[in-house]
Amino acid sequence: ITINNKLASAKIALQGAHVMQWKPHNIKNEVFWLSSNARYLHGRSIRGGVPICWPWFGAHPTDGSFCPHGFARVIPWRINEIIDLENGSTKVTLAMLPTPEVNRQLSYQFNLEFSITIGNSIHLDLKTTNLSEQPFLIGEGYHTYFEISDIENIKVTGLENKIYSDKVRGYKKFTQEDQIKFDAEFDRVYLNTRDTCVIHDEGFKRKITIQKQNSESTVIWTPWDKKVKTMVDMGTEHEWKKMICVETVNALENSVMVYPNQSHNLIAEYLVQEF
């Protein structure tokens, strides 16, 4: 799907309902990073943009053979609706198509719908509805790759004094004392936080504000130089320095219980301001 309205442009892949590109017309540089080595293959996730993680985040809790971060990002979705709004934005609504593999992996019935509103900001709304008679637990997230000038030029604010689980240090928990800067591999789940985060980029002279609703976790990730060599789809040697993942998530103890005939909406909105 290609959108080009008076406010912004965007590209969305129907496999995974994957937002690959969004850029307001008044912004100089791309907002989302997309690897030059991204693989556009059936059943494989795209490296970059906004992958959807659902119905688990990270490894499957009991079966390591299942796809990391769930199957929502690697199976087909259908278009439900594309409408132009009065303010010049465009709203795209997609629905996931259940497959035999999905039905094998889950013991419950559900509906999953994803709405993307494309304008001066981009608004993401992933709606999970429980069609079963029993509650079910989900992990979920937007694994968003933001384009940056250089990893050493940026800082992330909004997570000060928050507790995080640090994957690099064996999932031990620590408290974030200050704004976040980067000089090594970074893979943290910040827990019990609904706060807005901001990426401050001195190189691009801009900030990206990440607002969210119904999300209790935020993940920050950069692979750094050693780990990136093990990842065949991360692009050229130094391409990783041009991205940072700031992810709107419900993970670990912040996973969400969805009750019968109830819905849960994971919402994020991104706004770019140049200075």
Check: pTM over 0.85? Answer yes or no. yes
Taking residue 31's Cβ as centre, other Cβ atoms within 10 Å add up to 22
Classify residue 184: in a domain, yes or no: no
Taking residue 238's Cβ as centre, other Cβ atoms within 10 Å add up to 11
Classify residue 185: in a domain, yes or no: no
Q: Give CA separation, 130 vs 40, 44, 104, 147, in Å.
A: 31, 26, 17, 35
Name the band, by pLDDT with cuts 50, 70 and 90, for residue 232: confident
3-state secondary structure of 87: coil
Tell me: pLDDT of 38 over 90: no
Mean pLDDT (the chain) is 95
Classify residue 194: in a domain, yes or no: no
Supply the CATH number for residue 90's domain: 2.70.98.10
Tell me: pLDDT of 50 over 90: yes
What is the pLDDT at residue 235?
A: 80
Q: pLDDT for 98-148, tens place per residue?
A: 788 787 788 899 999 999 999 999 999 999 999 999 999 999 999 999 999
Strand order in the sheet with 2-4: 2-4, 8-13, 18-24
Q: pLDDT for 65-106, tens place per residue?
A: 788 899 999 999 999 999 999 999 999 999 998 788 787 788
Classify residue 228: in a domain, yes or no: yes
Please compute the mean of the pLDDT values over residues 50-56 and round it to a whole number. 97
Q: pLDDT for 260-270, tens place per residue?
A: 999 999 999 99
Residue 259 sits at the vertex; the CA angle it makes with 257 and 261, to the nearest 5 degrees, is 145
Classify residue 198: in a domain, yes or no: no
φ/ψ of 30, rounded to 5, equals -60, 150
Taking residue 252's Cβ as centre, other Cβ atoms within 10 Å add up to 15
Classify residue 65: in a domain, yes or no: yes
3-state secondary structure of 151: helix
CB 121, CB 254: distance < 8 Å: no
Percent of the chain with pLDDT over 90: 83
Classify residue 199: in a domain, yes or no: no
What is the pLDDT at residue 9?
A: 99
Name the band, by pLDDT with cuts 50, 70 and 90, for residue 162: very high
> What distance in Å separates the CA atoms of residue 242 and residue 11, rounded to the nearest whole number?
20
Tell me: pLDDT of 12 over 80: yes
DSSP state of 14: T
Q: Which domain holds residue 144?
A: 2-149+223-270
Name the band, by pLDDT with cuts 50, 70 and 90, for residue 229: confident
What is the pLDDT at residue 88?
A: 98
DSSP state of 47: S
Please compute the mean of the pLDDT values over residues 1-13 and round it to a whole number. 98
**Domains identified in the chain, total number:** 1
What is the pLDDT at residue 141?
A: 98
> What distance in Å separates the CA atoms of residue 142 and residue 114, rounded to the nearest whole number?
11
Please compute the mean of the pLDDT values over residues 50-70 and round it to a whole number. 87
Residues with catalytic roles: 143, 247
Please compute the mean of the pLDDT values over residues 48-58 and round it to a whole number. 95
What is the pLDDT at residue 216?
A: 99
